[in-house]
Chains A and B, each alone.
Chain A
């Protein structure tokens, strides 16, 4: 089981829960379990091609999965998966 930390804007799709536990051997599997349990999250996390949206960052513990094995990144029991909104801007 991994703990998934849900950012505030997405808690409306998890019944208000800020932490969801989900099982899976990889990030992709854990997120699939999450979106199966909470289907409304899917469109917020994935684009129409089924790929993670560019403004969604996924971290396992303190590591960005882009610099690990992306969605194939292994998950061990007790790992924390963070969904981090990408926030940027400028003039």
Chain B
């Protein structure tokens, strides 16, 4: 399971709202203990997808390098990633499945009319042929 800290969630919501109606994306940094992950920080990233960004995203690798550096400085790790689905449900699509790595927690936010309505988290199996929903908790307002 993974828990999002209030600080991480606030960054994710603001980024999703600012990017709407396009997809936003970012990185989750935190720690893991006894199989429970805590995302302490979320890093808002640039959507580097070269095309229509309403339904596609690609995390800018330069933002990943910076986040990786930051996580090491803080003695934390990159736990996963987040992105938004504007005016769609929080599900893990086939495109998501083919373009994510195993191990990571991948949070998908449903954003409707600029409001974050739902969030779910998924992990990809080692063959990238299936995803499993991971228990997710975040601060509810």
Contact = CB atoms under 8 A, between A and B. Distances in A.
A89 B61 CA distance: 14
Contacts, number: 72
Interface string B64-88: 1100100010000111010101001
A88 B77 CA distance: 20
Interface of B: 23, 25, 49, 55-59, 61-62, 64-65, 68, 72, 77-79, 81, 83, 85, 88, 93, 95-96, 99-104
A39 interface: no
**B contact patch SS:** mixed
Closest 5 CB pairs of A and B: A90-B56, A89-B96, A9-B103, A88-B58, A88-B99
A78 B7 CA distance: 35
Contact of A9 (B61, B62, B104): B104
B56 A88 contact: yes
